[in-house]
Amino acid sequence: MIRVAAATIAVAALIGCGAQPDAAWPATPNLVEREAFLMGTRARLAAYDVSRDSGLHALEQALGILERTEAELSTWRDDSVISLLNRQPIGNAFALSDATCRMFRVVYETVRATGGTFDPGLGALTAAWDIHGSGREPDERSLAAARERSGLRLMRFDAARCTVTRDADATIDVGAFGKGEALDRVAASGLRAPWMIDLGGQVSASGGPPGERGWQVSIAHPHNREQRLFDVVLRRGSLSTSGGSERDLVANGRRIAHHIDPRNGRPAPFTGSVVVWHHSGLEADMLSTALYVMGPIIGMRWAAEQELAVCYLIPQPDGVVRVVATPEFEKLRAP
Ligand code: AMP
Ligand code: MG
């Protein structure tokens, strides 16, 4: 079985415990690879194709899709669609493209389905806790003000007209769904060759290396990405991890999570990580964030009810990591 050299933890908002780096790829003429820095991470793309040229062409196309999605969604860019939306005057209906409208439909539905544990309308809260910087604990007044300005309930989505209207000065943070959407856009582009894309914390694939069941992805220790815990085999869909980061955030001397619980405006207390497989990258991305916020007790119950493929990695006081997975996730584990 060929193991994907899937990197894990990216910088900024886009993190994961995911897969750990591994030895070099096997020397086969038809394996092509590309690396690029995008979406705040070192992206790795690989494909097997009949010729090197066609493989490289396929990866070039995939890279173009990722770059265009980043240009559309990233709030690090002033001219992205999301930045424009975040700056729209209150009460102004902002028109979305078909692709963005489709994405928003799923995003709004997931906020509802996850009981608001996933809610990207929390730009004010991630700013108050300096989640994209080095972390800070806001005073109670600032926290209350940020909570008032948070939640997609403050941004009206009209699915029929494909518009979003800000009813208050709330902003969207794409940290928990941008990578998943980008990977889905690649998947929808109809690449023929078996491919795998690792965006650090989220890996999508279609097909597998010749003669293999799929791409082997290593799941790492939540606090040490060099330590491989077990492998899963990915043949389709997407594997998203929320949790352990190489970039620690500290507030008031305490390490805090990159994940805010929108229900109380505070960092989620869970200290492990959670891995989710879903046929949709967007859904996997959003669900891993929601499940991180829910924590393993509520999260496992919810995941089982929804028949989701979910695995929690729960560090114990003695340093051992407890692995708890739903039956759907167990099916992905490598023998
Ligand atoms: P992920 O690694 O996919 O779980 O995404 C984490 C990132 O999503 C954070 O760095 C924030 O940018 C953003 N975020 C944090 N908490 C939430 C939340 N409860 N719902 C939506 N986005 C969040
Ligand atoms: Mg996510």
Domains of the chain with CATH codes:
2-52+191-330 (3.10.520.10)
Contacts of 117 by beta carbon, 8 Å cutoff, 6+ apart = 261, 262, 263, 289, 290, 291, 293, 294
Helix (H, G, I), strand (E, B) or coil at 173: coil
10-residue block means of pLDDT along the chain (335 residues)? 35 29 47 94 93 92 97 94 97 97 98 98 97 93 98 98 98 97 96 93 93 93 90 97 77 85 96 97 98 98 98 94 98 92
- State phi, psi for 144 to the nearest 5 degrees: -65, -40
pTM metric for this prediction:
0.91
Helix (H, G, I), strand (E, B) or coil at 4: coil
pLDDT, residue 246, reads: 54
Contacts of 14 by beta carbon, 8 Å cutoff, 6+ apart = 39, 40, 41, 175, 178, 179, 199, 200, 201, 202
- State phi, psi for 244 to the nearest 5 degrees: -30, 125
The minimum-distance atom of ligand 1 relative to the CA of 285 is 3
Q: Which ligand is nearest to the CA of 76?
A: 1
Nearest to 122 by CA among 149, 142, 143: 149
- The rounded radius of gyration (Å) of the Cα atoms in the chain is 19
202-206 and 41-48: which strand pairing? Answer: unpaired
Burial of 115 (0-12, 13-18, 19+ CB in 10 A): middle
Ligand 1 pocket: which of 17, 112, 248, 258 to mutate (most atoms within 8 A of CB): 258
Total count of residues recorded for the chain: 335
Q: State the distance from the centre of ligand 1 to the C-alpha of 136, rounded, in angstroms.
A: 16
Query: Position of tokens 């695995």?
Result: 311
pLDDT, residue 22, reads: 38
User: Are the C-beta atoms of residues 285 and 275 closer than 8 Å to each other?
Assistant: no
Measure the CA angle with vertex 287, ends 281 and 289; round to 5°.
110
pLDDT, residue 4, reads: 44
Q: State the distance from the centre of ligand 2 to the C-alpha of 154, rounded, in angstroms.
A: 21
- What's the CA gap between 92 and 96, in Å, rounded? 13
- What's the CA gap between 169 and 85, in Å, rounded? 11
Q: State the distance from the centre of ligand 1 to the C-alpha of 225, rounded, in angstroms.
A: 20
Ligand 1 pocket: which of 129, 259, 274 to mutate (most atoms within 8 A of CB): 259
Residue 242 beta carbon below 6 angstroms from any ligand 1 atom: yes
Contacts of 160 by beta carbon, 8 Å cutoff, 6+ apart = none
Residue 283 beta carbon below 6 angstroms from any ligand 1 atom: no
pLDDT, residue 131, reads: 94
Using CA positions, which residue lies closest to atom 10 of ligand 1? 13
Helix (H, G, I), strand (E, B) or coil at 261: strand
pLDDT, residue 159, reads: 96
* Residues around ligand 2, an ion, CB closer than 5 A: 176, 285, 288-289
Strand order in the sheet with 163-166: 93-95, 163-166, 155-158
Q: State the distance from the centre of ligand 2 to the C-alpha of 27, rounded, in angstroms.
A: 33
- Alpha carbon 145 to its chain centroid, in Å, reads 27
Residue 257 beta carbon below 6 angstroms from any ligand 1 atom: no
pLDDT, residue 18, reads: 37
pLDDT, residue 28, reads: 52
pLDDT, residue 225, reads: 83
Residue 13 beta carbon below 6 angstroms from any ligand 1 atom: yes
